[in-house]
Amino acid sequence: MSTQMETFEYDILSFPTTHKTSVADMRTSLNEKDADGWEVVSISSSECANVGHMVFLKRETTTNGATA
């Protein structure tokens, strides 16, 4: 019996406060990532150093590194 371990790759979207990204633009970016198989894992927000909002994403990969 062979058990295959799930593996993931990760990405980060950044919406800095200096660019004043609209909610509609954020939604579009997230929907585009979703269409490519990405899933939101966490969101971090900070006004410090114009970081704004950072969205952490993951998607499953196969054992050879290709997306599932």
> What is the residue extent of each domain of the chain?
7-61
pLDDT at 68: 61
**How far is it, in rounded angstroms, from Cα 31 to Cα 29?**
6
Indicate the Cα dihedral angle 20, 21, 22, 25, nearest 10°: 170
- What residue ranges of the chain have pLDDT lower than 70? 1-2, 49, 63-68
pLDDT for the residue numbered 29: 95
What is the predicted pLDDT for the residue at 49?
67
CB neighbourhood size of 3 (10 A): 4
Q: Residue 67 half-sphere exposure, CB side, CA atoms within 13 Å?
A: 11
CATH class of 7-61: alpha beta
